[in-house]
Amino acid sequence: MQSDKERITRLLKTAKGQLEGLLKMVEEDRYCIDISNQLMATQAILKKVNAEILHDHIHHCVHGAFGTEEQEEKISEIMLIMDKLTK
């Protein structure tokens, strides 16, 4: 992985803290809208991390596979992940 590991790690730790906060909110029977807002904030961080990792994968791994035996495999991987993202 070529992505900025420190940035990715920081974002994932933030999401982890938000998830722990969400568990506490549910245990405390907090207001549903507050829980939903926190869930959306957590999802936004995870979406941002995923986009950065996929961008990096395309830029390095897929691009680097062009003209090699791995080219079709890398393209298929990206197509499968795109299918998952659009569902």
Asked whether residue 64 carries a pLDDT value surpassing 80, the answer given is yes
Q: What is the CATH number of domain 5-85?
A: 1.20.58.1000
Return the pLDDT at 2. Answer: 59
Q: Do the Cβ atoms of 49 and 15 come closer than 8 Å?
A: yes
- The C-alpha atoms of residue 69 and residue 7 are separated, in whole angstroms, by 32
Asked whether residue 77 carries a pLDDT value surpassing 80, the answer given is yes
Q: Where are the domains of the chain?
A: 5-85
pTM for this prediction: 0.82
For the chain, give the percent of residues with pLDDT over 70. 97
Taking only the tens place, the pLDDT of each residue in 16-56 is 999 999 999 999 999 999 999 999 999 999 999 999 999 99
